[in-house]
Chains A and B, each alone.
Chain A
Amino acid sequence: MAKILRRERLVPNIHMIEVEAPEIARKCQPGQFIIIMVDNFGERIPLTIGDWDVEKGTITSVFLVVGTSTHKLSMLEAGDEVPVFVGPLGRPSKIEKYGTVLLAGGCFGIAAIYPIARALKNAGNKIITVLDVKTNYLLYWEDKLKAVSDKMFISSRDSYYDCKEYIPKTVDSVLHHEGRIDRTIAIGCTYLMYACSEATKPHNIETWVSLNPIMVDGTGMCGACRVTVGGKTRFACVDGPDFDGHLVDWKELFIRRKSYFDDEIKSLCFWEKKNLP
C-alpha cells in the first residue's frame, strides 16, 4: 500500500498527487513512469512522473481525469492509500548535451516535461519550452517550468497568451525564429505528440515523444502496450516509453488507444451510478 500525501486539483480536470514512495523516489529518473491501481477493483494504469523528492521520499504525478481510474484517483484525499504504486518503470529519457532543446508539453505533459527540462538544463542545454493549453485558466506549473527554461512560449485557443494557435504552429514558428534547434521532446496527448512530430519533420529535427499506449503490468509481461516504431513492434513499457516521433506508426497508436472506448464509458457510467449522488 502506498499513502497519498497530497491530492490537489491544479486546474479543472487536471489533478496532482504526491505519494509516499521512498524506494521509487530514490531510483527515479526523468522520463520514467509509475503504474497505479486506485483500489482493489481498479485497473492498472500508467502515469508519467512529474517530480520527485528523494529526501521526503515522494513521487508527484499529474493526471487528466478521463475514465474510471482517474475519476477515483481525483477523489482521494491525503492519508488515503492505494494498493498498487510501482516503479520507476520504463527507460529514462536520454539526457545529454544536445545544444538547444525544444520541449513541448500539453495537458498532463506539462508536468511530464518538467523533470526532463530540469535535467537537460543541468546538462548545459539551452531550453525552450512551449506549453499548450486550451484556455488561460488551464495552465499550471508555469513558474516551475519558467525556472528551468531559457525561453518559454505558451499557446492557447483564446487570445490570452503569446499565440492563439495549436502547439505545432507555435513549434513551427519557434523553429523559424530560433534558427537552430538540436532536439525536440514532446509529451502530452497522442495528437499533440503526433502534431509536433509532423511539425519538426520537414526541418529534420530529431523529435522524441513519450508514448502512452494502454498497459497492464508495465514490466514487459503482457504486450498490451505494443507500438510500431520504424516498422518494428516495440513494447512501450520496457523498450520505451520514449521513441523517435518520426518513426512511430501514429495511426496504429490512435486506434489501439481507443481499443476499449465503449467499455471505458460503460465502466464510468457504472461507477458514477454507484458512487455519485
Chain B
Amino acid sequence: MAEKNKTMPPEMKEKLRSRYNEEWRKKLRKSIPVKERMKISRQKMPERDPFERNQDFFEVNRGLSAKAAVEEAKRCLDCANPQCVMGCPVGIDIPTFIKLIEMEDWVKSARLIKETNALPSVCGRVCPQESQCEAVCNLKRATGTPVAIGNLERFVSDFERDAGQVAVPKLASPTDRKVAVIGAGPAGLTVAGDLALKGHSVTIFEALHVAGGVLVYGIPEFRLPKKILEAEVDYLKSLGVELKTNFVVGLTATIDDLKKEGYDAFFIGTGAGLPNFMRIPGENLVGVYSANEYLTRVNLMRAYDFPTYDTPVFLGKRVAVLGGGNVAMDSVRTAKRLGAELSVCVYRRSRIEMPARVEEVHHAEEEGIEFHFLTAPTRFIGDDKGNLKAMECLRMELGEPDDSGRRRPVPIEGSEFTMEIDMAVVAIGNSSNPLIGQTTPGLEIGKWGNVEVNWDTMATNMKGVYAGGDIIRGGATVILAMGDARIAATEMDKYLRSKMRQTKARPKKKS
C-alpha cells in the first residue's frame, strides 16, 4: 500500500530548532566532545535467563538502570539535523527527550514524549526501532550501533509511572464537539489521546471487554505486561476519554446511529480482525489454531491459568507455528512457555526475509525455539477422531523477487516430508474486519476489504469519517497504526474546528 512521503511540517521543524538552541542544551552538548560520546558503547538491555523465562509469562526485558540510561543518553550526538525524528511515524522529538535523560530530568523527558505519543511505555517495548528511528540514527552511520532510542523511551515512561509522577497535562478549552473512536487498539487510543488534549469530547467504542486491541489480545505478557497497558489506558481516561467496552459498532449501533446521537466525527480503527488461513486440506482439524485465537485464549482470556480461568487452550507437545512475523514469534514462544517439547517456527522463505523483529527472533532462539526455513505446509493430517497428528511440508528455494521485493519461495519438486505435530498455529496475517464495511452504506471499501482513505489526511470518502491502522493497511505494526492516527487526529481537529466556526457563524439561539 502506498506510503505517505514524509516531510517535516514547518511548525515541528520550528519547535525542534528552538529546543535545540536552548542554553542548557548547548551547554550539555559541549560538556562531552563528540569523539568521547562516540566511544561509549551501547548499553545492553538486561534480559532474564532464557531457560528461566521460557517457563513463565513474566517480561523478558528488565529495562535499563538509571545509570545505564544516562550512559546511553550520552551516546546521542544531539545532531543539528536529527534523522531519528523523521524515522518515527509519530514524530517524537527524540533528541530532546534523550538529552533530558542525560540531564537526569526523567519526568520532564517522559512528558515531552507524551506530547506526541500517548503510549510511550508500549512503544518503547514493541516498536521496531531498528527499522525506524534507530535505522536512520546518525550515530549508526558513524559507528554502526545507533542510540538505543526504544530502550530509553521505555526507561523514562516506566520511571514516570513507577514513581507515581504521571500527571494530567493541561487540556485545550472544551470545544463541545463529540468524537466516536471505533476500536481501542493502538490507533484508536492514539486518536483518543490527541483529540482529548485538543479539547474534544471523545468516546472509544470497543467490541471486547478490555481496551488495547492487539496490545491486549495479541501481544503476550512476556513482551508487554498488561499492567503497563492498563496504566496507559488509565492515563487516557484521566484526559477525559470515555471508554465503552462490549460495544460493537456496526451491530450494537451503526455509524449512522451514532451520528444521530450527536457524534460529529468518527475514527475507524477496527484493525485487521479476520485471520487468514492457508486453505490447505485439514485446516479445520482439532489442534489447528489461528494465531489470533491461540493468543486471545492465552492473553486475553488467560488460558495459561486454566482452570482458575475458565477458558481452556491446547497444551501442544509438538507445536508448529506457520509464518515469520512478530505474531508467529509470539505464538511459538507462548507454546514453549505452555510446555511444548518441540516448538518450531515454519517459514516458507529464509531468515533474512522474516518480517519479525530481529530482537524477537533472537529471543526465540535463545529460548529454544527451532526454525524450519524454506518450508511450506501442504496439508494437515488427522487421526480418526479428527485431531491433528502430522503436517506434510514441502521444501522451498528462493526465486525471483516478488511485488514485496522479497525473493519468492518456489517449491522443490518431490521434497515432501512429514512432521509429527499435535498442534499448529497459523500466523500468516489477517484481513480487514468486515463489520464496519457491511454496516456503513456509502463507505468506500478497497479490494482487500480495507477502508479506503486519502493517505495525506486519513479521511474516508464519508465526511467526518477517518480511518487508520490495520483496517486501511491490512496488517502492519502498532507504530504505523499510531502514525496514521496522529495524522487523522490533526485532520479531525481541523475538521471539528471548521465545523465550530460554521456553527458560530449561524445566529445564536437566545438563552
Contacts and interface: CB of A to CB of B under 8 A. Distances in A.
Interface of A: 2, 23-24, 26-27, 37, 41-44, 68-69, 83-89, 216-217, 219-224, 226-228, 233, 235, 238, 251-252, 255-256, 258-260, 263-264, 266-267, 270-271
B34 interface: no
Nearest to A266: B307
B284 A221 contact: no
Given A226-B284, A264-B312, A89 B251 contact: yes
A224 B207 contact: no
Interface stretch (B272-280, B345-353, B364-372): B272-280
A223 B290 contact: yes
B283 interface: yes
Contacts of A23: 247, 252-253
A229 to B, nearest CB: 11
Interface in B202-224: 207-209, 217
A267 B306 CA distance: 8
B207 A41 contact: no
B450 interface: no
B168 to A, nearest CB: 26
Interface in B265-312: 273-275, 277, 279, 283-284, 286, 290, 292-293, 296-297, 301, 306-312
A219 B435 contact: yes
B310 A68 contact: yes
Contact of A222 (B290, B307, B310): B290
B433 interface: yes
Nearest to B209: A84
B434 interface: yes
B interface, over-half SS: loop
B286 to A, nearest CB: 5
Given A228-B284, A233-B284, A86 B296 contact: no
A223 B292 contact: yes
Given A83-B209, A84-B209, A233-B284, A238 B306 contact: no
Contacts of B252: 23-24, 27, 86-88
Contacts of A27: 251-253
B275 A255 contact: no
Given A89-B248, A221-B433, A223-B292, A41 B286 contact: no
B34 to A, nearest CB: 50
B385 A255 contact: yes
4 closest residue pairs by CB, A with B: A263-B312, A255-B386, A221-B273, A222-B293
B329 to A, nearest CB: 19
A259 B288 CA distance: 11
A252 to B, nearest CB: 6
Contact of A43 (B207, B275, B310, B435): B310
Contacts of A222: 275, 290, 292-293, 296
Contact of B251 (A41, A87, A226): A87
A256 B286 contact: yes
Contacts of B207: 86, 217, 219
B246 interface: yes
B248 A69 contact: no
A interface, over-half SS: mixed
A238 B248 CA distance: 12
Contacts of A41: 308-310
Nearest to B290: A223
A223 B275 contact: yes
Interface of B: 207-209, 217, 246-248, 251-253, 273-275, 277, 279, 283-284, 286, 290, 292-293, 296-297, 301, 306-312, 385-386, 433-435
B433 A220 contact: yes
Contacts of A220: 273-274, 433-435
Contacts of A83: 209
Contacts of A43: 301, 310-311
Nearest to A252: B284
B226 to A, nearest CB: 13
Contacts of B296: 216-217, 221-222
A271 B312 CA distance: 14
A221 B296 CA distance: 9
Given A24-B252, A86-B247, A238-B435, A221 B274 contact: yes
30 contacts: A23-B247, A23-B253, A27-B251, A42-B310, A43-B310, A84-B209, A84-B246, A85-B246, A86-B246, A88-B251, A88-B252, A89-B251, A217-B217, A220-B273, A221-B217, A221-B433, A222-B275, A222-B293, A226-B277, A226-B284, A233-B279, A238-B434, A238-B435, A251-B386, A252-B284, A255-B286, A255-B386, A263-B306, A263-B307, A266-B307
Contacts of A251: 386
A57 B296 CA distance: 31
Contacts of B283: 233
A24 B273 CA distance: 22
A270 B385 CA distance: 26
A254 B333 CA distance: 31
A14 B308 CA distance: 26
B307 A267 contact: yes
A216 B293 CA distance: 8
A49 B45 CA distance: 52
Contacts of A42: 310-311
Nearest to A72: B310
Nearest to B257: A27
Most chain B Cβ neighbours within 10 Å, of A85, A89, A219, A224: A219
A212 B326 CA distance: 32
A193 to B, nearest CB: 18
A218 to B, nearest CB: 8
A224 B293 contact: yes
B275 A221 contact: yes
Contacts of B275: 221-223
A85 B253 CA distance: 15
Most chain A Cβ neighbours within 10 Å, of B217, B251, B385: B251
Contacts of B273: 217, 219-221
A270 B310 CA distance: 10
Most chain B Cβ neighbours within 10 Å, of A221, A235, A266: A221
Contacts of B435: 219-220, 238
Contacts of B312: 260, 263-264, 266-267
Contacts of B247: 23, 86
Nearest to A83: B209
A263 B315 CA distance: 11
Contacts of B248: 86-87, 89, 219
B323 to A, nearest CB: 14
A143 B385 CA distance: 42
Contacts of A238: 274, 434-435
Nearest to B295: A222
Contacts of A26: 253
A41 B434 CA distance: 29
A109 to B, nearest CB: 22
